Structure 1
Amino acid sequence: MKIVIVDDDCLVTAALKTILEVNEDVQVLATGSDGRDAVCLYAEYKPDVLLMDIRMKNMNGLEASAEILKADAKANILLLTTFLDDEYIVKALRLGAKGYLLKQDYASILPALRAVYSGQTVFGQEIVSKIPDLIQKKENFDYSVCEINEKEKEIIRLVANGYSNKEIAAEMYLGEGTVRNYLSAILDKLQLRDRTQVAVFYYKHR
Structure 2
Amino acid sequence: MNVIIVDDDRLVVSSLNTILETDPEIRVVGSGYSGAEALHLCQRLCPDLLLIDIRMDGLSGIEAAKRLMNQNPKAKVLFLTTFSDDEYIIEALRIGAKGYILKQNFESIIPAIKAVFSGQRVFGDAIIDKIPSLMKSNEQPNFSDYHFSSRELAMIKLVANGKSNREIAQELYLSEGTVRNYISSILEKLALRDRTQLAVFYYKQS
TM-score interval, smaller chain = 0.7 to 0.9
Which residue type is aligned with residue 140 of structure 2?
Answer: E
Query: Counterparts of 1:20-169 in structure 2 under 5 Å?
Result: 20-135=20-135, 137=137, 139=140, 145=149, 157-158=161-162
Q: How far apart in 2 are the matches of 1:66 and 1:124?
A: 21
Q: How far apart in 2 are the matches of 1:99 and 1:65?
A: 12
Question: Which range moved further: 79-88 or 189-198?
Answer: 189-198
Aligned residues: CA RMSD: 3.4
Unpaired runs of 5+ residues, structure 2, are 169-176
- For residues 157-198 of structure 1, the C-alpha deviation after alignment (integer angstroms, 9 at most, x for no partner) is 557xxxxxxxx79999xxxxx8xx677566446642134314
Q: How far apart in 2 are the matches of 1:191 and 1:57?
A: 30
Higher Rg = 2
Unpaired runs of 5+ residues, structure 1, are 160-167, 173-177
How many corresponding residue pairs? 195
64 and 149 in structure 1: CA distance in 2 versus 1, 3 angstrom threshold? closer
* Equivalent residue number for residue 15 of structure 1: 15
TM-score between the two structures when normalised by the length of structure 1: 0.76
> Offset at 1:145?
2.5
* Equivalent residue number for residue 174 of structure 2: none
* Equivalent residue number for residue 162 of structure 1: none
92 and 20 in structure 1: CA distance in 2 versus 1, 3 angstrom threshold? same
- For residues 118-175 of structure 1, the C-alpha deviation after alignment (integer angstroms, 9 at most, x for no partner) is 1121111111121232247463899x8275599998776557xxxxxxxx79999xxx
Q: Is the 8 A contact 1:5 1:30 kept in 2?
A: yes
Task: Report sequence identity in percent.
Answer: 46
